[in-house]
Amino acid sequence: MHGGAHRIIGSVAIGLSALLAAGCGVMPSPESKLEDSLARMVEGAQDSLWPYRADIVSDPEAAVARVGSVSDVRPAYVDPAFVPAGGTYKLLGVTTSAEGASLILATSGGSETGGGLFYDYRSAAVYFELRFPSGERRIDTLASDCTDGQGHGLADVAEVIDYTRHGEPRSIDGLDVRRTVTAEDYPTMPCQCSSGGTCGCPGG
């Protein structure tokens, strides 16, 4: 084989190696994908509860009962036979004060990578506090101790809501998650009127 052919083959091999190395360098790890999943779940709670923020401040119990994505698991603190309703977010505690109201919530997320022999699936539970300041169009998201402030918490109901399979629950500390959302995160959608129909937009 001529020297030129050796050089071409060598260059191709080096190029392929560089491409593979670059590809491996940008692929997210299973752990980072799981963390992204958990962060999206927390932000999903912010999105779900944003329309109810004023009602949550005035009467959190009544307001949360109307949110289909939230399941109240607190009855399981005293009745282990209690079967919570479906709901992505599990309500662990509610607190109120002159400054506003807070909800202690838990949820779970998962991620998968690879395939075949290299398939990997990971899941975890995460807990956090959503705080609704009185008189403000804002939701603050904080790390929580995972309890309701009265000696009950996720540890008491993890088996009831099937969170034991996820292992040790996680705090939002360390996750890349929005800590505050405001009206700027939820701009009003433009009003559209269908042709020939009744229009409820301002000005008709």
Could you write out the DSSP letters of every residue in the chain?
--HHHHHHHHHHHHHHHHHHHHHHHHSPPHHHHHHHHHHHHHHHHHHHHGGGHHHHHH-HHHHHHT-TTEEE-GGGGT-TT--PPP-SEEEEEEEEETTEEEEEEEEEEEEEE--GGG-EEEEEEEEEEEEEETT-SEEEEE---SB-SSS-BHHHHTTTTT-GGG-S-EESTTS---SEEEGGGSPPPPP---TTS---STT-
What pLDDT, on the 0 to 100 scale, is given for residue 191?
Answer: 75
Q: What is the mean pLDDT of the segment spanning 12-27?
A: 50
Round the average pLDDT of the chain to a whole number and report it. 86
Residue 193 binned pLDDT confidence (cut-offs 50, 70, 90): confident
- Among 34-43, 77-86, 127-136, 193-202, the range scoring the smallest mean pLDDT is 193-202
Q: pLDDT at residue 100 above 80?
A: yes
**Confidence band for 140, pLDDT divided at 50, 70 and 90:** very high
pTM for this one?
0.80
pLDDT tier at 16, thresholds 50, 70, 90: very low
Residue recorded with tokens 């909800």: 103
